[in-house]
Amino acid sequence: SQSPPCILQLSRKTSCYNRSWGGSKPRRTHNSMSAQISLTLLPSARCLFDEPVQVKVAGLRSNQLVTLRARSTDERGVVFNSSASYRADGSGEIDLNRDASLSGSYVGVEPMGLLRSLKADTSHKYFYKDKALEPFMVNFSVHEEEEGGILAEATNERRLIGDGVMRVPVEVGNIQGVLFTPPEGPFPAVLDLGTLMSEKRASLLANKGFIVLALPIFIGKPKLERMNLDDFEEAVKFLQNQPKVGSKGVGVISQSKGADIALSLAAFVPGVEAVVWINGCSASAVLPLYYKNRQILSALKFDMNKVISTQSGAFIIKYAMHDSLKEENKASLVPIERASGQFLFVASEDDFNWDSKAYMDEMVDRLKRHGKENFESVSYPEAGHYLEPPFGPYCHSSFHGFVGIPVLWGGEPRAHAAAEVHLWSKIQEFFRTHLDCDKTETKSKL
């Protein structure tokens, strides 16, 4: 069957584009009781991962009580489920954009609540959806309240990579990543630093009109002796040499351990013009940093004795780092006051992995003392550590591969989900503002 048509629009200034697909009709059950009941996903059953859908049910009895369910399986084969009870209106309709859940995985009006509340049956599971070529498939269904039989269902195909975006694995020198390039150009260039390899954020940014190299901090089983900034400088230069790159400098987006690497790139490597720092440290965390064969930053150490246990079986590691402001630890602080590029600092105030808000406040104070104005900051009071592109399942706790224990990530689920929506827009605006492209108008041939 033919793929649905793709509408592609490029804006002249930012070279950002939007896509829309036609979608398949929702599946319906065909027994006599439910033949007229439909579950519809609008505007389409196919969309990008970071786009909301409107879930509507029609054909129910007036004021009928039903359960809506969502189900998805991650890349490791773990099944995630969510459910919520709704009462139809007088016309026998339910609209998740309008109606409140009465009970279940969440309560109240939350249009994308079934997605963000997807949860595995076993504890401490993170939803792995990191491969760009495989869509996030979610089955929505509506069930009779008492007997639980399926009245209608529809499948939402949530794509990570848009039509026309090229995905190319890169193994050059010390670079082992994946490059995403939108059609046409020129575009701003962004280096996406993840703790481990994930294509999700990079591919979604490419859909918005950026050339993005997804690069893990650690490859395979990491060697925990030191970090080499030269490897990441190599990635910056690789991006600068891409023919479709129109920005004068490179942007870097980072989270957790990748965040202090991003700060170091801004401080020591030419051509880094815009850095998004999300929930990380202001010092070289855990490992010393080397550049051009000499140590430039000592390691801020981690103390397992300061890990806090909880009844859930997961641990809080937020307070296990040594104090970066003590005299003996100041050599680990990244000298961001040296940087000429722009910073966007993002901190979740309920982050249980890092004391992110304290690190952000320290950096803001330090830049102000040096008379610098090349930064902006945003904090989210009830958000947790894992700030990701919006509309994925919220992760309460999961196994921490480097600490070797399950950890709590923090956050109130609904507030965390709202923070992800707000931040995703802010990240794109920040990069478009500070990674200026060729102003020549670019038109699509599609």
- CB-CB contact of 132 with 206 (8 Å): no
Which residue is catalytic, options 256, 284, 332, 397? 256
Give catalytic status of residue 11 as yes or no: no
Nearest to 414 by CA among 65, 17, 108: 108
Catalytic residue selected from 74, 95, 260, 351:
351
> What is the sign of the dihedral through the CA atoms of 70, 73, 79 and 80?
negative
Coil/strand/helix, residue 274: strand
> 385 an active-site residue?
yes
- CA neighbor of 53 nearest in space, from 118, 138, 119: 138
Alpha carbons 186 and 190: distance in angstroms, whole number: 13
Which residues, listed in sequence order, are joined to residue 10 by a DSSP beta bridge?
17
> Please, which residues have CB within 8 angstroms of residue 345's CB and are 6 or more apart in sequence?
277, 360, 363, 364, 375, 376, 377, 378
Which residue reads 């065909």 in tokens?
30
Residue of 143, 385, 396, 434 with catalytic role: 385
Cβ(408)–Cβ(352) under 8 Å?
Answer: yes
- Who's near 320: CB < 8 A, 6+ residues apart? 302, 303, 304, 305, 306, 307
Q: What is the Cα Rg of the chain in Å?
A: 23
The region, left, alpha or beta by phi > 0 then psi within -120 to 50, assigned to residue 122 is beta
> Which residues make beta-bridge pairs with 137?
157
The CA–CA distances, whole Å, from 445 to 8, 19, 37, 62 equal: 9, 14, 41, 49
Q: Which residues are catalytic?
A: 256, 351, 385
